[in-house]
């Protein structure tokens, strides 16, 4: 604090004070622009090969770096403890040392595991060899191209020189009016609520109070949804620039390897043909084959999935070379051959028609074989399934079976029909035993993380659902434009692609495409800290999944650092307590959940052998990653690859070990590492944890959609899908990871990003005020009362201003996002439909599950449709989720009839008040109209059960209306008791 008061700036990279130079003055790394950087970060930049200023591109003065003899103490080994203690004096940083315990030093003695010691020694030896080779190559090899450093010395912008992507802000003529209307709407909302609260309706106080509570909640929901869209952006990638940098002619490709994850559970509900198309599209992706590995997780241990994958691997030998030879899109055969386009467009090779015809014939034969397997699997034999060699299938009991791994392609020289290498294809089914918690999809994904780390260990992971195929063969290259970008990729945890869908009706009756979310909300988040992880179509940095913090992670809060500061106020003075030892530092660091990451990988190279062995102790890793030295060693390889010290013949055995059902016990898997457990929407939770650690994500929207999938188009299936998402949000809300209170200590999650996550977990609770608000019109029509008093001229202005601001906000949002007005309207309609049905059930089921331990089992949504196009759309499937919206429809219709009947009997003066009530009721009916069409079916014929519901509810509310508000007027009601005949 004293240094800050004296004018010494903070380092732009680590947040610490830049300190003083050897001349006693403030240390300056760049004399051109005075870019604030401390000596430690400056030396790290030089060691990493970056010898020019990040801001202005001017070359650094390397004479400022300390000599090697000055970096060492007088003949003594500088330990990790001394590094940490020197931090208070402007020395090294104390970022992410939360796994450092007092026991670690003891584990480096004679009692240590000799196998582990050998692993650490081999890793350190490889690191030294790699550094030596890198230094030699820099001195001996001269690139014919102009190095980026020289280009930057010529005062060119680093973004224009090195970046493979470009951020395109929304034009000011579109975004500025949008922001102004948001502020105006916020002001009008305040004036509106002032009027509503100060003008109660005494004759209908209960209705008025209910409406006020509902409207306040809707306003809060709007704020949570609107303000994260304050700074939307677009992005553009340059894959040609990426190729010219990492794929030079005559040299091996330097593109990073990618492991693809595909997950499936039940092949009878997730057809093997759809899963096979996803796998084939991955194997044929436009990327170096030695850099691609596809892992299929079969969490149902189905022999049908295994056999269909074996057939798929054989067909891939024909399909992959065909795709690459003729550059076809998409590279999923089912969707390629079903395209209703001119397939000869842009094709110039005469053999294309002949080979396409032959390939289509081969695919039809392949489909017949797959369908035969499916037909055979419809009835399970009493003795269980038997493999071709006569042995029993190990996965006959899906809840009790050993781990299974089979490498189909990319092993032992498997090649395609033209003799070219094929990507690796691996079947994985993790072990399951009774009494173990398997954590559903999140557990399966974490098993894939460990298996892939042992077998291939690509630095990047791309996960897809079994029904999401690669629609753009260059999708991985688009992602690498960000991941491998020297400017952008450093702090990037994942690149999220939007979800696009096939097989949806043109009108998108139930908003299955989610256009508003993917094209509006996600673009807005990309301008803050990045989009949320939505479960599929996402490329991960493997190190982020391991719980590490980003390289530019800011230092710990002062309460958890080596310097003791009193309180959190910036005006406090530093306390003069003695420097803490390592055990105290560890305890302080553990106070912050966000620093459960093991340590910052970029700092490993800054320590000598003794300090590195202190960090990489057996206990500190095994208590987090589990008891696999091969896997632990792979986590230390920031650039991926299988460790040289590993015996290839033992890899499969080790891979089986890391997917055993007890491997995750007493580890950090699912808590701080990998996909996070505790919610059925593990995707939202996992992305939230990464953002809390300081990572950022990026939204990539290439012109040709990267991936496409199938969505449930039936009303009941769609509601069950939404129910699952909403239940996951409620679970997060009731967990320790709730964004309302989690992650404030580190200060790494931006406020607008937090608002977006809060909106994600509280939106199901909107169902309670929504269903009450949708019931108010019917109650008002039946009782003759209203929630709004007689409007004055000023009040009319506030109401009119509110409606106009709502419309303007939507119009301007459509203008900058490019979303069609029909998509916005469908989204609004289904917000009401889902809110009064699926979201309502999710709230109650969430509290039952978290409070009473009553778990709800979900069935996987069927992906296959009927033979007729959109046949499933018109299929009626009864479910309890249909009861609340059906009731609201009937009640409001009865209310409208009752309102008009009352107006006809009351005279012309009753028509004015009726207008507002009927408008209110029609607003509800109009939003529920797609739901009504879903009940009617294809033949516009209402199912019997809906007729029964309608008659029953109409009778009840008609009788209620007659009881509450009979046909008699107030004056007649006083005379009526005395009447004894009709002439009185």
Binding residues for UDP-alpha-D-glucose: 263, 269-270, 299, 440
DSSP string over 641-703: ---TTS-GGGHHHHHHHHTSTTTTTTS-BTTTBSSPPSSS-HHHHHHHHHHHTT-EEEE---S
User: How many whole angstroms separate alpha carbon 924 and alpha carbon 892?
Assistant: 8
Annotated binding site: 263, 269-270, 299, 440-441, 465
User: Nearest to residue 316, comparing CAs of 368, 276, 371, 355?
Assistant: 276
Which neighbouring-strand residues pair with 386?
Answer: 392
**CA dihedral over 597, 601, 606, 608, signed as positive or negative:** positive
User: How many whole angstroms separate alpha carbon 559 and alpha carbon 588?
Assistant: 7
Query: Is residue 302 a contact partner of residue 373, using CB atoms and an 8 Å limit?
Result: no
User: How many whole angstroms separate alpha carbon 285 and alpha carbon 259?
Assistant: 12
Q: Name the DSSP class of 196.
A: H
Query: Is residue 555 a contact partner of residue 592, using CB atoms and an 8 Å limit?
Result: no
Residue 16 to residues 40, 42, 768: CA-CA distances in angstroms?
A: 10, 13, 48
Number of other residues whose CB lies within 10 A of the CB of residue 124: 16
DSSP string over 303-358: HHHHHHHHHHHHHHHHHHHHHHHHT-SS--HHHHHT--S-TTTT---TTHHHHHHH
Cβ-Cβ contacts under 8 Å for 738 (sequence gap 6 or more): 732, 761
HSE on the CB side for 689, CA within 13 Å?
A: 25
- Catalytic residue check, 299: yes
Q: Name the DSSP class of 909.
A: G
Cβ-Cβ contacts under 8 Å for 479 (sequence gap 6 or more): 460, 462, 495, 497, 539, 700
Burial class (CB in 10 A: 0-12, 13-18, 19+), 918: buried
Query: Is residue 426 a contact partner of residue 408, using CB atoms and an 8 Å limit?
Result: yes
Query: Is residue 508 a contact partner of residue 424, using CB atoms and an 8 Å limit?
Result: no
Query: Is residue 120 a contact partner of residue 619, using CB atoms and an 8 Å limit?
Result: no
Interhelix angle for 352-376 vs 303-326, to 10°? 170
Q: Is the bond preceding residue 774 a cis peptide, omega within 30 degrees?
A: no
Q: Which of 104, 299, 526, 717 is catalytic?
A: 299
Residue 220 to residues 213, 763, 825: CA-CA distances in angstroms?
A: 11, 11, 21
Instruction: Identify the three-state secondary structure at position 541.
Output: strand
User: How many whole angstroms separate alpha carbon 157 and alpha carbon 285?
Assistant: 33
Query: Is residue 313 a contact partner of residue 412, using CB atoms and an 8 Å limit?
Result: no
- Each residue of 950-974: b (16+ CB within 10 Å) or e? beebeeebeeebeeebeeeeeeeee
User: How many whole angstroms separate alpha carbon 389 and alpha carbon 387?
Assistant: 6
**CA dihedral over 861, 864, 866, 868, signed as positive or negative:** positive
Q: Which of 683, 717, 823, 872 is catalytic?
A: 683
Number of other residues whose CB lies within 10 A of the CB of residue 128: 11
- 3-state helix, strand and coil shares in percent for the chain, rounded to the nearest 5: 50, 10, 40
- How many residues appear in the chain? 984
- Catalytic residue check, 225: no
Annotated binding site for Mn(2+): 441, 465
Query: Would you name the residues annotated as active-site residues?
Result: 299, 683
């Amino acid at each position: 604090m004293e240094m800050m008061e004296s004018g010494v700036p903070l380092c732009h990279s680590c947040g610490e004070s830049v300190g003083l130079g050897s001349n006693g003055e403030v240390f300056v790394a760049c004399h051109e622009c005075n870019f604030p950087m401390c000596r430690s970060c400056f030396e790290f930049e030089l060691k990493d090969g970056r010898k020019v200023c990040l801001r202005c591109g001017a070359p650094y003065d390397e004479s400022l770096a300390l000599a090697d003899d000055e970096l060492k103490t007088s003949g003594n080994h500088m330990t990790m403890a001394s590094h940490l203690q020197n931090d208070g004096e402007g020395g090294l940083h104390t970022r992410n040392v939360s796994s450092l315990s007092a026991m670690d030093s003891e584990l480096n003695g004679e009692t240590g595991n000799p196998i582990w010691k050998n692993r650490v020694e081999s890793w350190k030896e490889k690191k030294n060899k790699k550094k030596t080779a890198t230094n030699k190559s820099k001195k001996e090899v001269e690139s014919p191209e102009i190095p980026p450093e020289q280009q930057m010395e010529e005062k060119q912008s680093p973004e224009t020189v090195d970046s493979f992507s470009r951020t395109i802000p929304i034009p000011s003529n579109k975004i500025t009016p949008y922001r102004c209307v948001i502020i105006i709407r916020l002001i009008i909302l305040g004036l509106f609520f002032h009027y509503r609260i100060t003008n109660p309706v005494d004759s209908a106080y209960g209705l008025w109070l209910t409406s006020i509570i509902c409207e306040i909640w809707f306003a809060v929901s709007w704020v949570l949804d609107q303000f994260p869209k304050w700074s939307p952006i677009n992005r553009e990638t340059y894959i040609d620039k990426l190729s010219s940098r990492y794929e030079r002619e005559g040299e091996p490709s330097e593109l990073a390897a990618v492991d693809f994850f595909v997950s499936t559970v039940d092949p009878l509900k997730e057809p093997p043909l759809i899963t096979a198309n996803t796998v084939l599209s991955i194997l044929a992706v436009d990327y170096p084959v030695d850099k691609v590995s596809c892992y299929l997780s079969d969490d149902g241990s189905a022999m049908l999935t295994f056999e269909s994958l074996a057939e798929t691997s054989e067909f891939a030998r024909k399909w992959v070379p065909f795709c690459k030879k003729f550059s076809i899109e998409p590279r999923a055969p089912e969707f390629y051959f079903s395209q209703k386009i001119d397939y000869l467009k842009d094709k110039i090779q005469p053999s294309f028609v002949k080979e396409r015809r032959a390939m289509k014939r081969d695919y039809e034969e392949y489909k017949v074989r797959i369908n035969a397997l499916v037909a055979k699997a419809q009835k399970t034999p009493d003795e269980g399934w038997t493999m071709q060699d006569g042995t029993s299938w190990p996965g006959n009991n899906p809840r009790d079976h050993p781990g299974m791994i089979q490498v189909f392609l990319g092993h032992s020289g498997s090649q395609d029909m033209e003799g070219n290498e094929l990507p690796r294809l691996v079947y994985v089914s993790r072990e399951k035993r009774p009494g173990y918690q398997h954590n559903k999809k999140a557990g399966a994904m974490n098993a894939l993380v460990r298996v892939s780390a042992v077998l291939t260990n690509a630095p990047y992971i791309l996960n897809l659902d079994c029904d999401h195929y690669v629609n753009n063969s260059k999708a991985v290259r688009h992602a690498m434009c960000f991941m491998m970008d020297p400017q952008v990729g450093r702090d990037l945890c994942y690149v999220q692609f939007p979800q696009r869908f096939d097989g949806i009706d043109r009108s998108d009756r139930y908003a299955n495409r989610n256009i508003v979310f993917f094209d509006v909300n996600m673009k807005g988040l990309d301008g803050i800290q990045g989009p949320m992880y939505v479960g599929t179509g996402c490329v991960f940095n493997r190190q982020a999944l391991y719980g590490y913090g980003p390289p530019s992670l800011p230092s710990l809060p002062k309460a958890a650092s080596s310097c003791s500061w009193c309180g959190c106020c910036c005006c406090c003075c530093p306390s003069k307590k003695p420097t803490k030892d390592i055990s105290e530092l560890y305890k302080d660091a553990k106070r912050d959940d966000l620093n459960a990451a093991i340590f910052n990988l970029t700092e490993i190279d800054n320590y000598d052998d003794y300090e590195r062995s202190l960090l990489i102790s057996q206990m500190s890793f095994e208590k987090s990653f589990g008891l696999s030295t091969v896997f632990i060693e792979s986590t230390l390889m920031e650039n991926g690859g299988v460790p040289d010290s590993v015996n290839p013949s033992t890899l499969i055995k080790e891979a089986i070990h890391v997917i055993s059902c007890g491997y995750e016990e007493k580890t950090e898997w699912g808590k701080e590492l990998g996909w996070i457990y505790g919610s059925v929407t593990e995707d939202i939770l996992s992305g939230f944890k990464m953002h809390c650690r300081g990572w950022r994500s990026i939204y990539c929207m290439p012109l040709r959609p990267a991936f496409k999938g199938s969505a449930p188009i039936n009303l009941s299936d769609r509601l069950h899908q939404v129910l699952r998402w909403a239940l996951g949000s409620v679970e997060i809300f009731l967990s320790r990871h709730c964004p309302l209170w989690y992650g404030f200590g580190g200060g790494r999650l931006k406020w607008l990003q937090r608002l977006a996550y809060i909106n994600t977990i509280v939106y199901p609770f909107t169902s309670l005020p929504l269903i009450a608000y949708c019931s108010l019109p019917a109650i008002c029509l039946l009782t003759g009362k209203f929630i709004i008093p007689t409007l004055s001229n000023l009040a009319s202005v506030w109401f009119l201003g509110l409606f106009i601001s709502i419309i303007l906000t939507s119009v301007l949002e459509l203008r900058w996002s490019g979303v069609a007005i029909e998509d916005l309207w469908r989204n609004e309609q289904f917000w009401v439909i889902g809110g009064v049905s699926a979201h309502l059930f999710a709230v109650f089921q969430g509290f039952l599950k978290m409070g009473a331990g009553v778990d709800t089992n979900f069935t996987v949504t069927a992906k296959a449709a009927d033979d007729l196009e959109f046949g499933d759309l018109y299929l009626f499937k009864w479910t309890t989720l249909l009861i609340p919206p059906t009731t609201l429809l009937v009640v409001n219709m009865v209310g409208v009839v009752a309102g008009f009947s009352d107006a006809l009997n009351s005279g012309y003066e009753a028509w004015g008040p009726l207008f507002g009530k009927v408008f209110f009721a029609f607003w509800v009916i109009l939003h529920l109209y797609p739901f009504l069409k879903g009940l009617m079916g294809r033949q516009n014929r209402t199912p019997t059960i809906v007729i029964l519901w309608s008659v029953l509810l109409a009778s009840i509310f008609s009788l209620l209306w007659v009881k509450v508000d009979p046909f008699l007027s107030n004056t007649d009601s006083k005379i009526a008791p005395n009447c004894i005949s009709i002439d009185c």
